[in-house]
Amino acid sequence: MVEKRAKRFGSTLAGYAKYLMMKDIEESEDLKPSIKMEKVLKSIRDNKAKFYTANSIEELDRLVDSVK
């Protein structure tokens, strides 16, 4: 059933599963990103993002905190 639905969307099973997971995360209250993370995500969506490497959660937090 899931494979048929994925095909109806013109997607692979893996792509459809990713879509469903992202939709679930977007709708989940306890998994909402912070305001700063929203800004980072918006810059990624707008193709204005700079690429950085973060080797730990702490480094990622520092990068997110540096967003204006």
- Give the model's pLDDT for residue 27: 80
Split at pLDDT 50, 70, 90, the class of 68 is low
What is the tens place of the pLDDT at every residue in 16-61? 998 888 888 778 777 677 787 788 778 777 877 667 777 888 888 8
- Does the model's pTM come out above 0.75? no
Q: How many CA atoms lie within 13 A of 68 on its CB side?
A: 0
CA–CA separation, 4 vs 35, rounded Å?
37
CA–CA separation, 57 vs 51, rounded Å?
16
Q: Please say if the pLDDT value at position 11 is more than 80.
A: yes
